[in-house]
Chains A and B, each alone.
Chain A
Amino acid sequence: MQKFKETILAPTLFVVALILLWEIIVRLFGIAPTILPSPLDIWNALAQYWGPLVSNSWQTLFTTLAGFGLAIVFGLLLGVFIGWSKTIYGALYPVMIGFNAVPKVAVVPILILWFGIGTVPAILTAFLISFFPIVVNVATGIATTEPELRDVLRALGASKLDIMRKVGIPRSMPYFFGSLKVAITLAFVGSVVSETVGSNAGLGKLMLDAQAAFKVELVFAALVALAVLGIVLYAMTAWVEKRMTGWAFRGENQGF
């Protein structure tokens, strides 16, 4: 019962209160819907534009997940590669940092130049922005293997590959799954940014069009769609994390 109160009742009440407050403020001060639409306006816009909202959400979801998928594959490979030896780590790290320091919005025009306006730049932006945390986390997980444990295995004649397979990679999994939560959020940001800069579909593009047409309530409705999508994606990766690396969360769920 206490749990219900904490995890369901309290957040629900808070959201409802927030929406009510918003509605009241808009009505009380007579704020124009072109500046700040009320929750009711947004609700109506959601109903009115349901079709385009859903189809564009699918597009954004698709580019996000495609970019995220690429980030997982390359992030894992590169993470293992970097974690493999201190030399490789030293060689690649500065380049990685430099690469990560470049704001990805700045890269989108180049991607559009290369691949044209459409789905590909959005996928690539999502990928580029989200693979870095995966690489860093996997490499960290591997690099922090206890030296004594390494010695135990090396003394048994274990090869580097053995140590990686038996210890390094399993040990980096909590880091990996932990990074997915960050990565999925970033991939989502990357997709939407790319759609906003130059695309012909997706929620970003929809918002851009709605803004140009002064349909402010639709801009907000698209924002709501983004929020919902973002929460769902985050929750999915958080769930996967708990499922896959329960042993790393032993303090929280003793019954595991």
Chain B
Amino acid sequence: MQHGEALVELSNVSMVYGQGANAVKAVDNLTLTVHKGEFIAVVGPSGCGKSSMMKLISGLMPVASGSLKLEGKPIAGPINKVGMAFQASNLLPWRTAVDNVLLPLEIVQPHRSQMRSKRAEYRDKARALLESVGLKGFTEKFPWQLSGGMQQRTSICRALIHEPEILMLDEPFGALDAFTREELWCMMRDLHAQKQITAMLVTHDLREAVFLCDTVYVMSDRPGKIVKVQKVDLPRPRDLDVTYTAHFQELVQELRSYIGRH
């Protein structure tokens, strides 16, 4: 699959938590490029700094050294060009699904100042997005009336409503049962195909990474370094059946051999 120009560029990036003697190096010497429309995965053992990497790219944490660029410009602080979804859906329980999805538009400019005049239009947009991920008929429900998978779909819609340049997913399917997880893989695959999203997935699940992504980065133990870059050459669109093919299994096994190795 052909991808556009470079969207996110990390070169020799390291990041440190804490200060002085208590400082802990979270990631070290990271170099990677995410191209427009590319779907990448970052896999690795627990605590290897995968989530730190997300915080770096979303501008929540500063880099200690190296350079980090989005569309050629250095990232200095929070940029509203990212959308994030986590393992917990973190939906606001006092808002319906559609109102939860609207939340980013109440924060991000220019939508923020247009919220009053364009409310109806935004609601329609949010509803359409929810319906596109299979939540027709559930848009006016409260989170506790939705199943775990539906909550996660809503959470991903919330991350996408403001049309971010890059979607960051931090183990978004980790808390779901196996079948629901596979359903959401397909949902994510279709969203990526339809909207040409650039996405970065942090996960422990190698099958998930191989199924969804174009490139898989394997990170080492803390401080996280990239120990393997694996291009996934499986043709798109991919069907769930692809996960049972020998080539798929080989890719997974190959990746597995790099995890926890020093």
Contact = CB atoms under 8 A, between A and B. Distances in A.
Given A146-B88, A170-B92, A247-B93, A156 B80 contact: yes
B122 to A, nearest CB: 15
B108 A152 contact: no
B79 A157 contact: yes
- Interface-centre pick from A149, A156, A167, A173 (highest chain B CB count, 10 A): A156
Contacts of B85: 152
Nearest to B85: A152
A151 B107 contact: no
A151 B106 contact: no
A166 interface: yes
Contact of B93 (A151, A152, A154, A248): A248
A232 interface: no
A148 B88 contact: yes
A146 B142 CA distance: 18
Contacts of B78: 154-157
A171 B92 CA distance: 8
Interface stretch (B15-23, B53-61, B249-257): B53-61
A254 B3 CA distance: 48
Contact of A247 (B104, B109, B142): B142
B202 interface: no
- Say what secondary structure dominates the interface of chain B: loop
Contact of A155 (B84, B88, B94, B103): B84
Interface string A183-216: 0000000000000000000000000000000000
A157 B108 contact: yes
Contact of B58 (A146, A151, A171): A151
Nearest to A148: B86
Contacts of A166: 92, 103, 106-107
Contacts of B162: 156
Interface string A139-174: 000000010110111111110001000110011010
Interface of A is mostly: helix
A250 interface: yes
Contacts of B79: 155, 157
Nearest to A256: B142
A170 B90 contact: no
Given A155-B84, A156-B162, A250 B55 contact: no
Given A149-B90, A166-B106, A155 B142 contact: no
B82 interface: yes
How many residues of A sit at the interface, in one of the four size bands? 20 to 34
Nearest to A248: B93
Contacts of A247: 93-94, 142, 144
A156 B108 contact: yes
Contacts of A170: 92, 94
Given A152-B84, A156-B80, A157-B78, A167 B92 contact: yes
B146 to A, nearest CB: 12
A32 B144 CA distance: 59
A173 B92 CA distance: 13
Interface in B115-147: 142, 144
Contacts of A162: 107
Contacts of A146: 88, 90
Nearest to A158: B107
A244 to B, nearest CB: 10
Interface in B92-108: 92-94, 103-104, 106-108
Contacts of B86: 148, 152
Contacts of B158: 152
* Residue of B88, B90, B93, B142 with highest tally of chain A CB at under 10 A: B90
A156 B78 CA distance: 7
A151 B55 contact: yes
Contacts of B58: 151, 155
A86 B86 CA distance: 24
Which of B59, B94, B106: most chain A Cβ within 10 A? B94
B110 to A, nearest CB: 12
Interface in B46-87: 55, 58-60, 78-80, 82, 84-86
11 contacts: A148-B84, A151-B58, A151-B60, A152-B84, A162-B107, A166-B103, A247-B93, A247-B142, A247-B144, A248-B93, A250-B142
Interface of A: 146, 148-149, 151-158, 162, 166-167, 170-171, 173, 245, 247-248, 250
